[in-house]
Structure 1
């Protein structure tokens, strides 16, 4: 049996975001195309720091501060792609 790590990572990143900003956030259902920093008012700088900590703890990697940028945090999909790259 093959596990689709693309979907799994996307789902897990979405769950992490929901855990940080709460289930009643303004984006509704999070998809790969959901825009993040600058688009979700709940994802302010403090929530971003918390999200990074949650992702590091859940996935077991340490995010380099150079990777904390608009490209990585553009959307749920771009963030999930970054996480997948860290796990490879």
Structure 2
């Protein structure tokens, strides 16, 4: 994956978290690979997970199957971004 594409996907994941969860741009901009998400962000509850994944699908033009998701997918910002990158290149 070219660095520009990786950066675009990371920016898309940030935008989805900001838009779907109603987080401030400053807060999301401060996320790094180790920033915990599910279980750490009260805004990211089980109902919001579906919205986040659907929005990532729509914005990146990818298909996410239920089988693709496991407990680690939304554990951190880095794991969610790596997941989105992996789906985007397949």
**If the TM-score is normalised by the length of the shorter chain, which range does it land in?**
0.7 to 0.9
* Normalised TM-score (structure 2): 0.81
Structure 1 residue runs of 4 or more that deviate by more than 6 Å after TM superposition: none
Aligned residues: CA RMSD:
2.1
- Which whole-Å deviations, capped at 9, do the CAs of 1:10-53 have from their partners, x for residues lacking one? 1210111111111249xx33222211111111100111111011
Paired positions, count: 86
Measured in 2, the distance between the counterparts of 1:23 and 1:87 equals 24
- TM-score when normalising by structure 1: 0.83
Structure 2 gaps of 5+ residues are none
| Higher deviation after alignment, 59-68 or 42-51 | 59-68
